[in-house]
Structure 1
């Protein structure tokens, strides 16, 4: 597990660098309003993905080793097409960024199809391909933006969406051929038992994930309503930083989930969860210290004068970023154990906190109010997860301390790499 985490950590670090590069380019190319438009459309695509992931997300991972992959693929692909077309259309009817409907459909469909393939890699413990495709999603997106801007002379914000669609389509086709060549085409058929189990597991996990997504993104919509798109663009930089950091810690969570799903005992799963908690805890201390050390002038120099308050936003969000990153380990443990009720409870309670604080704080304090609402929600959600986890296992402070033996083992792994 430790060597796999190291390899995944390296891939996530590459994603972190590429994500920062994409954010820097988009803010300088399209400004705060353009970044706000990108943030809203991407948030809408993420909302669609939570519906499509009922079959194409953790459900595909969980049942990849329990049913024939051919049957899992059939349900996941058909559901991806249905939700990728239907949900964006409903958004346009509700007048939510309707002018970007076709881009939203393209992003939603190909993102969901690719997510199915990546989920199958996780479920079959093919972490190497999972790492490769998650890095390529950022890298190919950036390359396609460069081709459209410097090769075809396109300059408007739709370049971002066209490049993303092209990237997702290419990676889906590549991963599809890698998966399908190992499948028996004659085995592709509908099976009521497969469909029922995938839907039952999928909607329960995605209910929690969708509500948690609202915790992450609802402040965008409140800000757009009360302050305008430019405020969304400025605030989104802080959120993008936090999610870039989470790409690294969530790599640990993905490995943990794969191990828990394939584990033979609860005791073994708890042990691995505590190991993941320790590693994430120390990584996040490093990231938060980094946020504190970087001068505010650096953020302004990188992103432009419109983003001069980025450090203040990051500092206000950092306690919540820390709490979510560490508690994600516990959340993936419960998901792997099929103990899904606590995930729904913590997400719903967190959403209530987000809504209440957003109504109070955003009209009064603007972007700072959005930071307060977001951090409060993150803290409450994390507290509920930890309370549940430590009701079934004793809390021991040394679980969060690194021993000399563990430091030596990590050195050996890196030298071997």
Structure 2
């Protein structure tokens, strides 16, 4: 587990750097309004993804070892196409149709690729999972370069066209790799398999969807009360939050893959606590680094409109730390199929966000949105901590790496540098 965990962390850190490169480029290329458009379209895509992930998400990972690939993947592909067309069509009745076709393309291709990647996780093929998560950033950037500097299409739509091209290429290559170990002549659609995928998928995704609304509802409140420019500025601060969560998500994916394939509950809990320790300390370190950067540097890198980024990060930092740790615990509960607590914690945070946003965002704008997000993150994470430590003993050292664990990490780093 430790080797897979380290390699996953390295790949996620690379993704973090590439993602920030994209953020810096998009803010300088299209400004705060362009970044606002990108943020809203990607937020819409994420909403669609939650519906698609009922079949293409953690269901693929959870049942990868329990059913043949030919039994579960066809459900995922058909569902990805149906949802990828239907939900954007529903959105088009309340939103401008300008980005409708891009949203359909993004929805279908990203969902198809997600099904393949999550299948790799369930098969404990973390190497391919890491490869394709990194390639999503690399290939996206390559297509942006081609579309803008070769084809000379410089509209913000170039961002979405490049992303669709990226998802399409990676889906085709990953599907080809899957066909090497699966016989698609034996494709079958059985009611029993479909119902199990649906039952597990909607439970995990209902929690994830509630948590997403908790994370992104501020975008829509800001757009409504303060305009698209405020969304663009606020989204950069949120991007820093999600970049820091790269660490906990790296740990969580490896932990989840290990837990769903394990029968030793004590071992699973101990591995969760190790992941919690690493996530807590590394996240604390990254937050410290971000807060040490002068505000002028943020403005210099992202553009003059983004001088408030440091203040946004400061206000979000307690929630960033809370979510980074609770992400790990959440994946433990998903791995052992105890999903009710995930819904409870997400619902608690969402209710707080929804009620407080109506009063605070119109008055305080971005600062209010930051305070709401941070408080909501802490509340929902607190619910998860409480439940986890009901089933295990709480110890302060759960958040402190031992000398032995530090030595192992250092050896891994030195080994990988050779």
Q: Which category describes the TM-score, using the shorter chain as reference length?
A: over 0.9
The residue number in structure 1 matching 2:108 is 109
Segment of structure 1 superposing worse, 165-174 or 401-410: 401-410
- 1:77-129 superposed Cα distances (whole Å, 9 cap, x missing partner): 00000000000000001x23432100000000000000000000000000000
The two structures have a TM-score, normalised by structure 2, of: 0.98
The residue number in structure 1 matching 2:357 is 358
The residue number in structure 1 matching 2:4 is 4
The residue number in structure 1 matching 2:311 is 312
Q: 1:58-73 residue pairs with structure 2 within 5 A?
A: 58-73=58-73
Structure 2 Cα separation of the partners of residues 272 and 150 of structure 1: 47
Q: 1:153-172 residue pairs with structure 2 within 5 A?
A: 153-172=152-171
**CA contact under 8 A between 1:16 and 1:248: conserved in structure 2?**
no
The residue number in structure 2 matching 1:147 is 146
Q: Structure 1 unaligned segments of length 5 or more: list them.
A: none
Shift of 1:181: 2.2
- 1:161-209 superposed Cα distances (whole Å, 9 cap, x missing partner): 0000000000000101000121112221111111010000000000000
**CA contact under 8 A between 1:41 and 1:97: conserved in structure 2?**
no
The residue number in structure 2 matching 1:24 is 24
- 1:347-389 superposed Cα distances (whole Å, 9 cap, x missing partner): 1111001111211110000111110111111011100000000
The structure 1 segments of at least 4 consecutive aligned residues displaced by more than 3 Å after TM superposition are none
What secondary structure sits across from 1:65 in the alignment?
A: coil
**CA contact under 8 A between 2:245 and 2:283: conserved in structure 1?**
no
- 1:219-262 superposed Cα distances (whole Å, 9 cap, x missing partner): 10000000000000000001111112212320110001111101
Count how many residue pairs are aligned between Structure 1 and Structure 2: 416
The residue number in structure 1 matching 2:92 is 92
Q: 1:227-246 residue pairs with structure 2 within 5 A?
A: 227-246=226-245
Q: 1:236-275 residue pairs with structure 2 within 5 A?
A: 236-275=235-274
Shift of 1:400: 1.7
Q: Structure 2 unaligned segments of length 5 or more: list them.
A: none
The residue number in structure 2 matching 1:83 is 83
Q: 1:175-214 residue pairs with structure 2 within 5 A?
A: 175-214=174-213
What RMSD in Å do the two structures reach over aligned CA positions?
A: 0.8
What secondary structure sits across from 1:154 in the alignment?
A: coil
Segment of structure 1 superposing worse, 379-388 or 264-273: 264-273
**CA contact under 8 A between 2:247 and 2:279: conserved in structure 1?**
no
The residue number in structure 2 matching 1:42 is 42
Structure 2 Cα separation of the partners of residues 145 and 410 of structure 1: 36
**CA contact under 8 A between 1:77 and 1:113: conserved in structure 2?**
yes
What secondary structure sits across from 2:155 in the alignment?
A: coil
The residue number in structure 2 matching 1:323 is 322
Structure 2 Cα separation of the partners of residues 200 and 375 of structure 1: 32
**CA contact under 8 A between 2:65 and 2:122: conserved in structure 1?**
yes
Structure 2 Cα separation of the partners of residues 221 and 97 of structure 1: 15
